[in-house]
Copies of this chain bind each other. A is one copy, B any other.
Amino acid sequence: MKTHTESEENYIKALYHLGGEQPVSNGDLAQRVGAKGSSVTQAVKRLGQKDLVNVVPYKGVQLTPKGIRLAKSILRKHRLWETFLVDKLGFGWDEVHPLAEQLEHIQSEELVDRLFQFLGSPKHDPHGDPIPERDGQMPPVLGQPIGAFTAGAEIRIVRVEDAGSEFFDQLDTMNINLGNTYEIRTISAFDASVELGSPTGSFWLSQSMCANIYAVQS
């Protein structure tokens, strides 16, 4: 049960985010971790020696099974900490990501298990993203983009994509939260914007807002 540096873990996380189990290009990885390509070449060489990735020069980098396991365990910690910060400490869902990026590197199986219990064995984090299970299984990725429903449908918001702080601000000012339910009133044939109705009135959501908000029929 070796231990990894923060940098290593960030590369693994980036690889999982970009490609999942598929190979990722040097350039994309460099962009994601915020380093230069040359640094990435070196870094993945180190990861390769630890059997966390397979590197094919000029072709791409791919997580090994071991790398995937590590990626999921970091993601699990990230999302559990986000849940803690929102549910227990009262942070806004737009504030917790940078903090979770620090907390996700704390190493202790025991701590993760206890945190998980303390939070009531959650399956999804404050943004609706699935929290990997202890054994690596992934709960379902919930919902479809709002635009995918048809007029008349009753929907419940179950997930939002992290589309930056302005997006979260907009959700905030419109009072849109996970769990909210609406009726789909209209879907514009012109610009794909959507009119949502609730007991208290109705309002329009732009196409780009809709694209980042996921819901299920309720």
The interface of chain A, by Cβ under 8 A from chain B, is 85, 88-91, 95, 99, 102-103, 106-108, 110-111, 114-115, 118
From B89, B90, B102, B110, give the contact of A106 (CB < 8 A). B102
| Sampled A-B contacts (13; CB under 8 Å) | A89-B111, A89-B114, A89-B115, A89-B118, A91-B110, A91-B114, A95-B110, A99-B108, A99-B111, A102-B106, A102-B107, A102-B108, A103-B106
Residues of B within 8 A of A102 (CB): 106-108
Residues of B within 8 A of A91 (CB): 110, 114
Residues of B within 8 A of A90 (CB): 114
CA distance A85 to B107 in the complex (A): 14
CB distance from A116 to the nearest CB of B (A): 10
CB distance from A169 to the nearest CB of B (A): 18
- Identify the closest chain B residue to A103 (Cβ): B106
